[in-house]
Amino acid sequence: MAGRALKRLMTEYKQLTLNPPEGIIAGPTNEENFFEWEALIMGPEGTCFECGVFPAKLIFPPDYPLSPPKMQFTCEMFHPNIYPDGRVCISILHAPGDDPMGYESSAERWSPVQSVEKILLSVVSMLAEPNDESSANVDAAKMWRDDRDQFNRIAERLVRKTLNLPYP
Amino acid sequence: MPAPMPVGALTMASFALTAAVIGNAYYQKKQFYPSVVYITKSNPSMAAIYLLAFTMVILLGKLLKKVFFGALRAAEFEHLIERSFYAVTETCLAFTVFRDDFSPKFVALFTVLLFLKTFHWLADYRVDFMERSPVITLLFHVRVTCLLLLLSLLDLVLVNHAYHSTITRGASVQLVFGFEYAILLTVALNIGVKYVCHTVDLQSENPWENKAMYLLYTELCMGFVKVVLYAVFMIIMIRIHTFPLFIIRPMYLTMRSFKRALNDVILSRRAIRNMNTLYPDATPEELRAVDNVCIICREEMLTGAKKLPCGHIFHASCLRSWFQRQQTCPTCRMDILRQPPPAQGGAAGAAAAARNAQQPPTPPAQPQTPQPQQQQRQAQQQMPNPFAGLFAGMPMPVGPPPVGLPPFPFPPMPMHQAQQQQAAAASASASTTEAGTSSSTTTTSTSTSSSASSTGQAGGAIPTAPFNMLPPLFPLLPFNIPPPPPPLNFAAMTEDEVRQLEGNERQHVEARIKVLRNIQTLLDAAVVQMNQYASVVASLDMNSQSIPRNATPQQAGATESASAPEPSSSQAAEPMVGAAADRANSRDPDSLKEATSVTSNDEAARSEVTSSTSVAASPSSLSSTTTTSASADTSTPDELHPDSPQEIRRRRLERFTQNT
Ligand SMILES: [Zn+2]
Ligand SMILES: [Zn+2]
């Protein structure tokens, strides 16, 4: 009998493989260790991140799903809710009780009801609609508010970078 | 493993240097013994030899690592580097205390210690890894078993050595080593227990429910042993030398983890107790009703499922581990501690009584006023669900009756509305009315004169009352600090306990009055609702489906604001005594609208009271009531979209009333 966390991660992996949500691919980096996942997220259509394919890694705690995983983009990102080092700051990834930004109600926090799929879908919607109330990247938040054109240009550069396209 | 180059270069260099040193010595002395003597006398030569020894140790370590662990994972390596850094600094600090003992021998011992430490850490990571990987090979088991045996043996031998050395030669740096190895021994034991648990769990087909518990207790015991060891070591060091600065950090970490383990044990015990006493097992029917999957582990629930008061069902074991983190329902986040399930009210009441009994006894300050308090308690008792209690029957089915007091002393109150009511809903609303008057009487008996006017309104059948009173009073309803759930059964308590439970301070009395007023308002609203509803139903003679009984609060606000500009309802305090009934009888469409709005208003209010202990539920309904009040006060004309559902419903209702 494998550990509870492992079993649940295997279940989720099977689920994600059998019927993957659109624009999201995720799975363990190495099938010997189910607690480190890789995910590829397509930039949502109609946003400045459209067409981009953004790689990220997910690190699960030993007591998953009681505690939330950590998520970090492994490519360069410029977004109000992503720290400059790639860590994602959304409420679903925070356990109730710890509130680094102080803006979130506990209703949208982590609970075992959440799943990898829900996290990734939240990240997709976060890419589409940044939440500039709790900003992990102040520069990006400011630019998103004040200078949307510049923000879009940077986003396009990042998108091209993830696709290995030259930036004009 | 990164950084192979420096090690390779180091190995090469040290071998070359040693060869050069030996070659030089042999070249100069030509014979074996003189060469050896020459090397030992020459510092540079000895340095080269030490370097070689150091290299050999590193190579040996790498070999052992290869044998016992294979390739290290990146995370393991990172942890290792970080912890080694602290270990080295701390041991260097320790050496400053024993600087007289400093010699190559101690450097060697120190290196061995560091190696053993890293091997303990690695073993720990590996055993933890057992829970994370689906593939555990036989090689893994062999490696871990051998490693653990070897490490424990080495620890034992070295502790023994240090002990004898300290006994025979007095306190030296051996004391530090012996202590370090004793700590490592506990670590090794802890890892061993963990390994055994994981292995047993892996072998069995079914999940081993108590594994977490065993691990927790192991951690607790080992934490305790470590704390004791640190304390003993500290005392010894202070008596022999000075304050041992270098153990501050590890000691602090150990104490913290011990505290955490203790906390975990307490929380999990509490969770288990709650699980066993408070929540019923889910029946097979209930399991079939939901989709049978535990949302925590995403597996099917066959047996051992528990049902929370909110109706959500989980595995008992999953729930237990979750309750160690948080006392909320994983699905709906209902606070399970604040809402004792009604079936187990007796137990919760006993607990509350026990809590109260621990407080210093406060003899009643005004012995002449126990009777109103008794009444208040009865009213307060029903607070979680006043309607259920009131409709169920008048004499309260709880505990010993208040001493020398009829259950509900009815004052001579006018009850016109009972005559005005239609026969359809007469009995139900009559009981509501009685309850309303009685509770308001209770209020007047203790409260200030401000409630007198509202009492008069309540007695006088009062359609306006909700409009004038609801807005200011409703924000009071969701208590910021919910009062402790009152016990449902007083039979098990003595007179004194009951009196202590009551509390005589001013704030208690005020809180009680507030609660009573809220109940009164609710009851008034209910009376109005029942009156109007009954009259509307009777006069329209239609099935109640067409009336939007469960209109949402927003719709209520909209409908109300639609009717607000009309003169009849904007006359506020005036003698609305019979107005609503009259209008209802005269088939005025307005009354319909008002009836529906009151209905929904009241439903919002009821839901607020029934869930008044769960603060999280209230904001939406709270905001809806405030919206209602705002729109009613300002009498803003509605700007409803002609196609909006509210508007459509309004038009349909109008047509309906015209037809009949
Ligand atoms: Zn479960
Ligand atoms: Zn629930």
Any idea how long chain A is? Answer: 168
Distance CA B325, CA B268 (A): 9
Q: Which residue has the tokens 């000075």?
A: B242
Comparing A36-45, B468-477, B525-534, the range with the smallest average pLDDT is B468-477
Q: Nearest-CA residue of chain A relative to B73?
A: A33
Distance CA B350, CA B360 (A): 17
CB-based contact, A100 to chain B, within 8 Å: no
Give the CA distances from residue B2 to residues B8, B77, B84, in Å, rounded to whole numbers and listed in that order. 12, 9, 16
Instruction: Tell me the shortest Cα–Cα distance from B333 to chain A, in angstroms.
Output: 7
State the pLDDT at residue A38: 92
b vs e for B499-528, b when ≥16 Cβ sit within 10 Å of the residue's Cβ? bbbbbbeeeebebbbbbbbbbbbbbbbbbb
Q: Do B297 and A31 touch (CB under 8 A)?
A: no
Q: Which residue has the tokens 């006023």?
A: B369
State the pLDDT at residue A70: 93
Helices B370-381 and B506-540: angle between axes, nearest 10 degrees: 50
Q: Nearest-CA residue of chain B relative to A35?
A: B132
State the pLDDT at residue B452: 38
Comparing A73-87, A92-106, A145-159, B355-369, the range with the smallest average pLDDT is B355-369
Catalytic positions of A, written as ranges: 89
State the pLDDT at residue B157: 94
H-run or E-run covering A39 = strand A33-42
Q: Do B132 and A62 touch (CB under 8 A)?
A: yes
Q: Which domains are assigned to chain A?
A: 4-163 (3.10.110.10)
The residue among A66, A41, A167 whose CA lies nearest residue B328 is: A66
State the pLDDT at residue B386: 40
The residue among B460, B612, B608, B611 whose CA lies nearest residue B527 is: B460
Chain A to chain B Cβ contacts (< 8 Å): 81
CB-based contact, B210 to chain A, within 8 Å: no
Tell me the per-residue pLDDT of B285-302, one tens digit each, with 9 for 90 and over: 777 777 788 888 888 887
Q: Share the mean pLDDT of chain A.
A: 86
CB-based contact, B41 to chain A, within 8 Å: no
Q: Nearest-CA residue of chain A relative to B202?
A: A1
Assigned token pair, A4: 């509870």
Tell me the per-residue pLDDT of B51-61, one tens digit each, with 9 for 90 and over: 888 888 888 88
CB-based contact, A80 to chain B, within 8 Å: no
Ligand 2 centroid, distance to B314 Cα (angstroms): 10
State the pLDDT at residue B313: 86
Residue A115 pLDDT more than 50? yes
Residue B411 pLDDT more than 50? no
State the pLDDT at residue B246: 81
State the pLDDT at residue B445: 39
H-run or E-run covering A30 = strand A24-30
Assigned token pair, B409: 């002393």
Q: Do A35 and B128 touch (CB under 8 A)?
A: no
Q: Which residue has the tokens 């150091």?
A: B54
Residues 55-114 on B with a CB inside 8 Å of A are: 73
Instruction: Tell me the shortest Cα–Cα distance from A117 to chain B, in angstroms.
Output: 13
pLDDT-derived band at A55, boundaries 50, 70, 90: very high
- The end-to-end CA distance of chain B, in Å, is 88
Q: Share the mean pLDDT of chain B.
A: 66
State the pLDDT at residue B494: 60
pLDDT-derived band at B69, boundaries 50, 70, 90: confident
Between residues B303 and A86, which one has the greater pLDDT?
Answer: A86
Ligand 2 centroid, distance to B502 Cα (angstroms): 31
pLDDT-derived band at B497, boundaries 50, 70, 90: low
Tell me the per-residue pLDDT of B349-393, one tens digit each, with 9 for 90 and over: 444 444 444 444 444 444 443 444 444 444 444 444 444 434 443
pLDDT-derived band at B112, boundaries 50, 70, 90: confident
The residue among B70, B74, B194, B77 whose CA lies nearest residue A3 is: B194
Ligand 2 centroid, distance to B329 Cα (angstroms): 5
Write the ipTM.
0.84
Can you list the pairs that B630-635 forms with residues at least 24 positions away whose Cβ atoms lie under 8 Å? B631/B557, B631/B560, B631/B561, B631/B564, B632/B467, B632/B471, B632/B560, B632/B561, B632/B564, B633/B471, B635/B564, B635/B565, B635/B570
What is the share, in percent, of chain B residues with pLDDT greater than 90?
Answer: 10
Q: Nearest-CA residue of chain B relative to A108?
A: B333
Tell me the per-residue pLDDT of B86-96, one tens digit each, with 9 for 90 and over: 888 887 887 77
User: In this structure, are residues B600 and B525 in contact, taking their beta carbons and an 8 Å threshold?
Assistant: no
State the pLDDT at residue A41: 92
Residue B77 CB neighbour total at 10 angstroms: 15
Tell me the per-residue pLDDT of B236-285, one tens digit each, with 9 for 90 and over: 888 887 777 788 888 899 999 999 999 888 888 887 787 788 788 877 77
DSSP character for A90? Answer: -
State the pLDDT at residue B654: 54
CB-based contact, B406 to chain A, within 8 Å: no
Give residues whose Cβ lies within 5 Å of ion ligand 2. B 310, 312, 329, 331-332, 334
User: In this structure, are residues B17 and B46 in contact, taking their beta carbons and an 8 Å threshold?
Assistant: no
H-run or E-run covering A73 = strand A70-73
Residue A23 pLDDT more than 60? yes
State the pLDDT at residue B147: 92
Looking at the partner chain, which of A2, A12, A112 has a beta carbon nearest the beta carbon of B322? A112
Name the 3-class secondary structure at A86.
coil
CB-based contact, A34 to chain B, within 8 Å: yes
Q: Do B132 and A6 touch (CB under 8 A)?
A: yes
Residue B316 pLDDT more than 60? yes
Which chain A residues are within 8 Å of B297, Cβ to Cβ?
Answer: 4, 7-8, 65
Distance CA B486, CA B438 (A): 21
Q: Nearest-CA residue of chain A relative to B201?
A: A1
Comparing A92-96, B126-130, B180-184, B654-658, the range with the smallest average pLDDT is B654-658
CB-based contact, B291 to chain A, within 8 Å: no
- The end-to-end CA distance of chain A, in Å, is 55
As a whole number, mean pLDDT of residues A159-168 equals 82
Tell me the per-residue pLDDT of B477-489, one tens digit each, with 9 for 90 and over: 444 444 444 445 5
Which chain A residues are within 8 Å of B201, Cβ to Cβ?
Answer: 1, 3
The residue among B237, B258, B254, B85 whose CA lies nearest residue B172 is: B237
As a whole number, mean pLDDT of residues A134-151 equals 88
Quote the pTM value.
Answer: 0.56
Distance CA B439, CA B457 (A): 13
Close Cβ partners of A87 (under 8 Å, ≥ 6 residues apart): A70, A71, A72, A73, A136
User: In this structure, are residues B289 and B270 in contact, taking their beta carbons and an 8 Å threshold?
Assistant: no
Residues 594-623 on B with a CB inside 8 Å of A are: 616
